[in-house]
Structure 1
Amino acid sequence: MPRQIFQLKMSVAGVRPPVWRRVLVPAGYTLDRLHRVVQHAMGWRDCHLHSFEIDAVQYGEPDPDGDLVLHDELDVRLDAVLGKGSRFSYTYDFGDWWEHDLVVEDALTADPDERYPICLDGEWACPPEGIGGPVGYHALLAALSDPTHPERVMLSDWVADGFDPTFFDPAVTTTLLRRFC
């Protein structure tokens, strides 16, 4: 039987302009591998906790000492809990609370001559880690766009020199996905 590929669109919730990615991933991936895909496709550094919510069930890395009850993401294949049209969420960094909306846009047959995962498209750079969630990111964008903004210098310290919030390159992202996922 040919391998199935899911076309996923992932968007950071609560930010404008939209930060999103469209990727192709094997449907046989487990949720822990999808976590790595989200991290590298979006541009996060994987320094914080995360969880998925699919049909009101929480998945992630179980912590026996933690308060959050999570089903183990290592035990769950995408094709066992998702299909074409499925919508679910991924939350990264429980302090800044970066929520991502994900949708399985299509289920395709794998091209035997292609390597997966692949980033097809996307827009805008990933928000910086530790900026304070969507509210902090909007404050950063406002400061970067106004040279006279009173918090420009302080907020600019959160980003690397040359940070361009409008820049995104799917080819570079595909290289990262193939190397680390």
Structure 2
Amino acid sequence: MKAYILKLTFEDISPPIWRRVILPTGATFNRLHEMIQNVTNFQSRYIDEPYHYFDIEVGGLFITNNPLIHEEYGKKLNGLTLKRPSHLKIDKYLEANVQFLYKYDSGDDWRIIVDLEEIVEDYYFGFPTVLAGEGTAPPEDVGGPAGYDHFLNVYHDPSHPDYFATHEWADRQYYKPFDIDAINESLKYMKYQKTEWDRIDHENYKVKSDKYRGPKQVEQVEFPFFKT
């Protein structure tokens, strides 16, 4: 099936934090948001607070899941057409613009550049997969890039008086090192297309390999519809 290879790069963070992800076409902007949350350490799906929303400006649209903005502004915001992300697919906007900015959490003001690197026709899984990446993503509510820089200084300094408290707080925020296998395990539940099992290399009713996911990233999934 047709799919996009995207590079997601945090702005204003050094050394760089980035993820390369492949996802099938047909994703809504809500699905894109869900995918970004899964490949970082953000936790918006577990938080019910007024700051943990996202917005994207692309193709003359202002796309956001923030209900307060929709209530206040209606159909227009700063000359842009206001849209909800739940039924709006990314395809034509991504292909036409190649790059846009995903902004998350109005308090911390995280900015992630979404770059379309390649369009492929031979990805067969109905959910996204992380192909590569570098850097541990920041935890939720750390205070944006400046707060994250301070957090790292304390987190890696055992002599700092707040060292242990910072580690305890980080654990509560699910701050974890980049783990491609664990992330891809969670992304399997983001399925929104039909996996094309007949296009994947099988052996004894189980997935053997795939060009993009590779043997290490493919769960040994059985195919009961092949059995007699």
- Which TM-score band (shorter chain)? 0.7 to 0.9
| Native 8 Å contact 1:31 1:76 kept in 2 | yes
Cα RMSD, aligned residues only: 2.4
Give the direction of change, closer, same or farther, for the CA distance of 1:180–1:45 in structure 2 (3 Å limit): farther
The alpha carbon displacement at 1:32 in A equals 1.0
Aligned to 1:80: 92
2:179 aligned with 1:172, yes or no?
A: no
Taking the aligned partners of 2:181 and 2:34, their CA distance within structure 1 comes to 17
2:122 aligned with 1:110, yes or no?
A: yes
Taking the aligned partners of 2:6 and 2:95, their CA distance within structure 1 comes to 10
Aligned to 1:156: 167
Give the direction of change, closer, same or farther, for the CA distance of 1:27–1:13 in structure 2 (3 Å limit): same
SS in 1 for 2:170: coil
The alpha carbon displacement at 1:151 in A equals 4.1
Taking the aligned partners of 1:82 and 1:145, their CA distance within structure 2 comes to 38
Aligned to 2:83: 71
TM-score of the aligned structures, taking structure 2 as reference length: 0.69
Taking the aligned partners of 1:11 and 1:86, their CA distance within structure 2 comes to 14
| Native 8 Å contact 1:84 1:104 kept in 2 | no
| Native 8 Å contact 2:24 2:123 kept in 1 | no
Per mean C-alpha deviation after superposition, the further-off stretch among 59-68 and 132-141 is 59-68
Question: Which protein shows a greater Rg?
Answer: 2
Aligned to 1:146: 157
Structure 1 unaligned residues grouped into runs of 5+: none
Aligned to 1:11: 9
Per mean C-alpha deviation after superposition, the further-off stretch among 128-137 and 71-80 is 71-80
TM-score of the aligned structures, taking structure 1 as reference length: 0.85
2:142 aligned with 1:136, yes or no?
A: no
Per mean C-alpha deviation after superposition, the further-off stretch among 97-106 and 10-19 is 10-19
